[in-house]
Structure 1
Amino acid sequence: MAGKRQHYIPRFLQRGFLTGDLKKQNTYMYLNGGGVRSSNINNVGVEGFFYSIDGDAELDDMYTNLENDYASIINKIRVHSFNELNSSDLAKIIGHFEVRTNNLRKSFLSSSTLFLDKMADAFLDINVLNSLILNELKKKFLKGGIIDNVFNNLEIHGQDRDALFERILPMIEVNIEHYLKFSIEPIKNSFKLAVNERLKDVIKKGHIDGMLKPVSENKKLKIYESLDYGIINTDFSLILSDSMVIFEFENIKDFKPFYDIKNTLKSVYLPISANILIYGTKDNSVPNLKVINEMSAKCSSDFFIASEISSDFSSLQHYIGKNCALLTDSEMKIILKDVIREQLSQ
């Protein structure tokens, strides 16, 4: 992985999904939006300086060393008995794959961008902004503000002051509303542009900082270690999501490409070849194989890979990206609604 071109889907994992001629090291990429192409794994799941900022190779070097260990474990599973391995090894691999992908970074970026856009639309809505401004005017003008000083100079006190302010308020409202009608869209667009320009770099740095932490500091590790792991040799071909590992939760129909701690984890799944699946479940529950490929597609952000051309796989492409958001649209609306209500009540 060392160098400019850094793989967020390690090639040792992709090698389980090679096409017929193994010497060519090709796999089939099923792309978001349609289209299938045969690509060398050197060109799949890779991005320039994905793990580096300003040429700093610390994370890149650390992951290169980890890949040697994890590749050895995965290769043993492919050819030997699972009894030789332990849950601690698998838990570390699950935790490692969960955080290293471009899928996670893009999910943060898209969810953050969408949330900030919705926040701008909500807070810079003319009615909301008008109410917020008037609330501030009422608090500040009457208590040590401009109008308060005017009233003091005119020696207007008590109820007369309140009554006079209520007469002035409609004129202020008209002027505020008139100003907002002409300025709200430029303000909103300027806010979105300024934030979005910085967001990508901020999220990349945060992602890298998080990955630099030792695997042992991953708070989810103990949960992953507590799972009952097994291997299934499937009688159907598997696909590999660009999230690599996918997570199933109690009482939730759809899987996710990351462990959402507000839900109760039920199972984790990691395809390591076209017909070999690692799974970990609670209480030796039965793994849910019927939907594994569909959920892998839904947990993919940009593409999934497979060892063959298949109409079944092509039919899954429209699912790509469906389960990648960190926050659902309804969750965002609830958060913003609560925040606005709190602001207006102050």
Structure 2
Amino acid sequence: MAGRKQHFIPQALQRGFGQAKGKKTQVYVFKKGQEPYLSSTEGVAAQRDFYSEPSDEETLDDRITKYEELVLSPAVTALRESPIGPVDANVAAAVIVHLTIRSAFVRGSFSVAATELLDHFVDSMVSDEKARTLLGIDSLKQDSMFVERIEEDILAKFGEMPEHFRNAFGKLVHFRAREKFRQMFPTLAATVLEQLEVLLDKVPGLIVSSHSKALDRDLAPKARVDRLKEMNWRIIAVDAPEHFVLPDCLAIGSPNPHFTGMQPYSLVNDDELAGVVMPISSSKVLVGCTVAPELETSVLNVAFAQCSLEFFISSCVDAQSTHAAAHIGEAVADYMGKLIEGEAFAAPAANASDSAEVSRKMQAPVRVPVKFEPSSRKSGKAQAAVRNLMNVAELHDGLRTVKAVVITDDVARSLRQRGMALNDCGAQMVQLGTCHVTETSHGVSSELFVTTGSVNQVVKGGPLARPAAALILHQAGRATYYAIISERLRGVLSQPRPTLEVIGLRIAHFFCSHYFGMRLSQLGCLSAEEFAATDALYRQALAGNMKGIADARLHFMEHRNVDAALTLALGHLEQMLCATANACACTGEHVRRWRTSQSFKALEEASLGDWFELFALDLERFFESRERMSSDSDLVLLGCHIERLLWSFGIVLAAPTPEQVWMEVLGDEQTENVRVMLRA
């Protein structure tokens, strides 16, 4: 039976880094943040009952001791006595895998990772915004923990429901949870924090148990051994006074043959591994590489220290060891930081070319041609006023795609002269100006149409100049939106999609362009008088479009014509979402200002009060991500708002196949029940 003091770094290996004192060997131990001390190997890297407690039956420590005596110690001795040059890959692989898997480093690093991960969860639960990201509340991905849970619950309770209706119901539940998350958060946070506290107490015991079970299964896992056998192995040596230290992780790995970016071997995936280094004595290292290694031995001690968790062993106290000790734990801390935060949450760092491009944009105003319709209205003052107004750095990306700014007495007439078909509703929508976008082989091209009246107000100055300038800048902001989307997401958005998603994206493009237009219009904070006027206009738009959507439902119930009813509903829906996006944008981050408005009362009557604030949150997040946008996920999420709005009016869209869109309408009583549920 083995003793109770059990070494997680065998003395046979430690002796290669010390000085013999009689029957014992002494080594210097450099611990993080402490002065080095001299100790016998009997007391270094050992812990009472580390692997197992005493027992009448064979224990894990008994098995490890036998493995040391029969396999490990002879192998270490053979490697240590080998001349400089190639060595047997089978021996090298078995030694490294066994030593690294049995070490306290494995337990310690996993414990640190688990504790920091749980601490990160705890920190994230202090605010609903951080928790939204952590829990994936706003994700539509099927592998989202939140989406999976919703789908599982709906399948369990409504398994007999057709799949496309289950999917539609799942979206409704998801939206409602997103809308109410802020109110749900305090209770949710208390429950989660209580569970995390219990889990934190259990982490050390769970890791010890898991580590012991893994060792009990295999003292040298075959998959890891086989990966190392594929490498070319050799001994590399140095002459005194140079020497090597022994890290508590025992071996380090690199993703390339240049041995840069080294990490503890235990933490590197096999498929990312290109090179491995393990010191076997103070003068020799064992090196494995997929190709001929390019290794600079002078940097190894610092790398060994960086990859240590708590300590390393050295044969002496000298400048090399002392310098290396200052770096203990750096690579481990970096690894843990990336593991906890995740690469996806970090904004891409700007490089020098990015900075130069930003500087260039700010220093080079974009001169856009200005046209007048009719041409008799041409005015040098008006032209100068428009160009001066648009000399805003944030608009330069958009203005580079603009063929011309058209100052016209009648926007609808100018558009019709260019071959656009506009009905009365369309003419009304563009009467204050528009941004007409055309896709080209290189991206997008835009024409901005603004009214002669707005430009004249800017030229004259006075109280109406500010809102008139905002109307003009609004269209330039929309051009900027389309330029950003074309540059960053063109390839993504051209991919084949289900029809319902295509409809959502088309409408989302429209209202997002208006949100960007309003946010980039430089309007600033609205005065009380301006806000009251905005409220009145928004309330009017809500009333008309809510009635239009309700009429579409009645039209379907009477005529059962899906195409006509859906076209009618989507037309009013698009206008309502556009008006709402403008309303959200005009208050920016202070969207709660709307809570006391007449418009918000109208929204609440239709069970859309919570939805309004969620819509504003989604738009704000999308707008703030514009400089680092690389995915269409936020835009697809915004497109789903069309379905959420229609539920409040008793209209349900479903997609039985990717090519089909089904429309179902609820009766008056069912519609009211849905609204009650959405208000609950």
**TM-score, scaled relative to structure 2:** 0.41
The DSSP-based 3-state class of the residue aligned with 1:29 is strand
Task: Kindly state the Cα deviation for residue 78 of structure 1 after the two structures are TM-superposed.
Answer: 2.6
* Inter-partner Cα distance in structure 2 for 1:285 and 1:127: 48
CA gap of 1:288–1:129, structure 2 versus 1, over 3 A, is: closer
For residues 283 and 252 of structure 1, the distance between their equivalents in structure 2, rounded to whole angstroms, comes to: 12
State the shift of 1:219 in Å: 1.1
* Contact 2:84 2:234 (8 Å CA) reproduced: yes
| Among 85, 88, 103, the residue aligned to 1:86 | 88
The answer on whether the counterparts of 1:246 and 1:256 sit within 8 Å (CA) in structure 2 is: yes
Name the structure 2 match of 1:237. Answer: 243
Superposed displacement of residue 84, structure 1: 10
Going from structure 1 to structure 2, the CA distance change for 1:13 and 1:174 (only over 3 Å counts) comes to closer
* CA offset digits 1:78-129 (Å, max 9, x no partner): 3354789621111111111121111111110101111111123224533456
CA contact (8 A) 1:107 1:325 kept: no
Which residue of the partner structure matches residue 36 of structure 2?
Answer: 36
3-state SS in 2 of match to 1:305:
strand
Say which of 105, 108, 126 aligns to 1:106. 108
Contact 1:126 1:184 in 2 (8 A): no
Give how far 1:337 is off.
5.8
Residue 323 of structure 1 aligns to a residue in which SS? helix
Equivalent residues in 2 for 1:263-342, closer than 5 Å: 264-324=272-332, 327-334=335-342
What does residue range 173-252 of structure 1 map to in structure 2 within 5 Å? 180=186, 190-215=194-219, 217-235=221-239, 236-250=242-256
Amino acid paired to 2:264: P
The answer to which of 186-195 and 213-222 deviates more is 186-195
Aligned residue in 2 for 1:47:
47
Taking a change above 3 Å as real, the CA distance of residues 241 and 19 of structure 1, as seen in their structure-2 partners, is: same
When the two structures are aligned, how many residues end up with a matched partner?
Answer: 310
**Is residue 2:257 matched to residue 1:257?**
no
**RMSD (Å) for aligned C-alpha atoms:** 3.8
C-alpha distance in 1, partners of 2:76/2:181?
A: 67
SS in 1 for 2:265: coil
Q: Which moved more, 1:281-290 or 1:222-231?
A: 281-290
> After superposition, what is the alpha-carbon deviation per residue over 1:176-223, rounded to whole angstroms, capped at 9, x for unaligned?
57xx3xx78865653443111101111111111111223564312112
Relative to structure 1, the CA distance from residue 176 to residue 189 in structure 2 (aligned partners, 3 Å threshold; closer, same or farther) is closer
Matched residues in 2 for 1:204 and 1:7: separation? 15
Deviation at 1:306, TM superposition (A): 0.8
State whether residues 98 and 220 of structure 2, in contact with CA within 8 Å, keep that contact through their aligned partners in structure 1.
no
Structure 1 match to 2:551: none
TM-score with structure 1 length normalisation?
0.76
Larger radius of gyration: 2
- Structure 1 residue 42: deviation in Å? 0.7
Give 1:9 deviation, angstroms.
Answer: 0.4
State the alpha-carbon separation in 2 of the partners of residues 18 and 118 from structure 1. 41
Residue identity (%): 21
Cα pair 2:17 2:282 within 8 Å, conserved = yes
CA distance in 2, matches of 1:90, 1:128: 46
Cα deviation digits, residues 271-323 of structure 1 (max 9, x gap): 11111211112222233313111111111111111111112211211211112
Provide structure 1 residue ranges, at least 5 long, that are not aligned to the other structure.
Answer: 144-161
**Distance in 1 separating the partners of 2:236 and 2:27:** 22
Q: Distance in 2 between matches of 1:86 and 1:173?
A: 60
Q: Which amino acid is the alignment partner of residue 95 of structure 1?
A: V
Question: Measured at CA, do residues 83 and 336 of structure 1 come closer, stay the same or move farther in structure 2, by a change above 3 Å?
Answer: closer
- The one-letter code of the counterpart of 2:50 is F
| Distance in 1 separating the partners of 2:43 and 2:223 | 33
- Whether contact under 8 Å (2:97, 2:220) holds in the other structure is no
Does the 8 A contact of 1:227 with 1:283 survive in 2?
yes
Of 275-284 and 121-130, more deviation after overlay is shown by 121-130
Report matched runs for 1:63-78 at 5 Å: 63-68=64-69, 69-78=71-80
Which fold has the larger relative contact order, with Cα–Cα distance below 8 Å and residues 6 or more apart in sequence? 1
- Describe the shift of the 1:337–1:271 C-alpha distance in structure 2 as closer, same or farther (beyond 3 A): closer
DSSP 3-state at the match of 1:273: coil
Runs of at least 5 residues in structure 2 that lack an aligned partner in the other structure: 139-145, 155-171, 347-632, 641-680
What code does the residue aligned with 2:262 have?
F
